[in-house]
Amino acid sequence: MSTSISNTEIKINQQAFIDELLNDYKLMCLSREASLLGRKEVLTGKAKFGIFGDGKELPQIVMAKFFRNGDIRSGYYRDQTFMLAIGKLTVKQFFAGLYAHTNIEKEPTSAGRQMGGHFSTKFINEDGKWLDLANQKNSTSDISPTAAQMPRLVGLGLASKMYRNNKELSHLTNFSNNGNEIAFGTIGDASTSEGIFWESINAACVLEIPVVMSVWDDGYGISVPKKYQTTKESISKALAGFEMEEDSNGLKIFRCKGWNYQELYSTYKEATEFTRVNHKPSLVHVEEITQPQGHSTSGSHERYKSKERLEWAKEFDCIQKFKEWLLSDDNGLG
């Protein structure tokens, strides 16, 4: 009897897991279609400029699974799939941002004041009163200077530390649940060349704050490849001196591939658990990411990427790879 119940339970769990994966796939396709249509809208003159998250769908879906109520994002313009996955953006709102719609109801991130793809969530209600931030998913507003999200990330992580260490703040339950929140940062590989990135990583390590920093590494900063701007062509290798050692402060560094669901899942699970429990920073270097439509609507990447690179990107497209994994016989899903 008990065996048959547990078998049923296993089946139910397995079905729930498969349903979740199919939902993930659906959302990734939706986000990709929004990117493809977004470019067309700009190039046919209906919006001024567009910059999209195509190629980053899978890592962002996975990161969203570990983003809890009370957590906060300090990121940049590539994160539409993440925002869709945490339920803080709809496709309609995404396009309202692209068209710079001035109605706050239609375009809640900034009522058209910000560039499209600059995401945010509300912190206050219509009366100017604070919302219950500890019980909702939060994002600060993206800003145009690349890497400018970094010092803010440090401040947000430091806030969690202060809430955890300072019992006099424990009554402020709408801001923090005893400091258990993580500040999630995102950045592109080229923007890690900026001084402000290094200062912020150093500060996060010295202060020992709960920050999970993701680097979406597609190998290019617009048209400039990594070999011209990143030491050893790898930000995680360049950061080696920051790596946490036994009994030292520092950064826990993880590497994974942007098209490999299982690798991404286990990495984000480990990184977020480590940071949430120990209140120490971690960095997830997500490599082998693609950018199917190039940097933005203002360029054609076919002009600066080699044929080989473009072919590789087709083969290692994260949605394509995820689909292959879902359909493979040895994925363990039965």
Ligand X SMILES: Cc1ncc(C[n+]2csc(CCOP(=O)(O)OP(=O)(O)O)c2C)c(N)n1
Retrieve residue 224's tokens: 């400039």
Give the residue with the Cβ less far from ligand X, 139 or 160. Answer: 139
The CB density around residue 137, as the number of other CB atoms within 10 Å, is 19
The reply to whether 218 sits near ligand X by the rule CB under 6 A is yes
Contact with ligand X (CB under 6 A) among 120, 146, 260, 282: 146
**Count residues contacting ligand X (CB under 6 A)?**
14
The reply to whether 220 sits near ligand X by the rule CB under 6 A is yes
The reply to whether 287 sits near ligand X by the rule CB under 6 A is no
The reply to whether 186 sits near ligand X by the rule CB under 6 A is no
Give the residue with the Cβ less far from ligand X, 149 or 160. Answer: 149
The reply to whether 71 sits near ligand X by the rule CB under 6 A is no
The answer to whether 35 and 293 are in contact (CB under 8 A) is: yes
Query: Binding segment for ligand X among 7-15, 125-133, 183-191, 305-313 (CB under 6 A)?
Result: 183-191
Residue 280 to residues 50, 153, 239, 249, Cα–Cα distance (Å): 36, 13, 16, 8
- CA 302-304-309 angle, 5° bins: 70
Estimate to the nearest angstrom the gap between the alpha carbon of 75 and the chain centroid.
7
The reply to whether 78 sits near ligand X by the rule CB under 6 A is yes
Give the residue with the Cβ less far from ligand X, 53 or 157. Answer: 53
The answer to whether 282 and 274 are in contact (CB under 8 A) is: yes
**Measured from the CB of residue 225, what is the shortest distance to ligand X in angstroms?**
10
Three-class SS of residue 124? strand
Segments of the chain assigned E as strands: 72-74, 138-139, 183-188, 211-216, 220-221, 224-225, 252-257, 282-287
Give the residue with the Cβ less far from ligand X, 61 or 244. Answer: 61
The reply to whether 222 sits near ligand X by the rule CB under 6 A is yes
The answer to whether 83 and 134 are in contact (CB under 8 A) is: no
The reply to whether 191 sits near ligand X by the rule CB under 6 A is yes
Contact with ligand X (CB under 6 A) among 118, 295, 301, 305: 295
Q: What is the DSSP string of 183-236?
A: EEEEEETGGGGSHHHHHHHHHHHHHT--EEEEEE--SEETTEEGGGTSGGG-HH
Residue nearest to ligand X (CB): 188
The reply to whether 216 sits near ligand X by the rule CB under 6 A is yes
The reply to whether 184 sits near ligand X by the rule CB under 6 A is no
Q: Which residues bind ligand X (CB under 6 A)?
A: 78, 144-146, 188-191, 216, 218, 220-222, 295
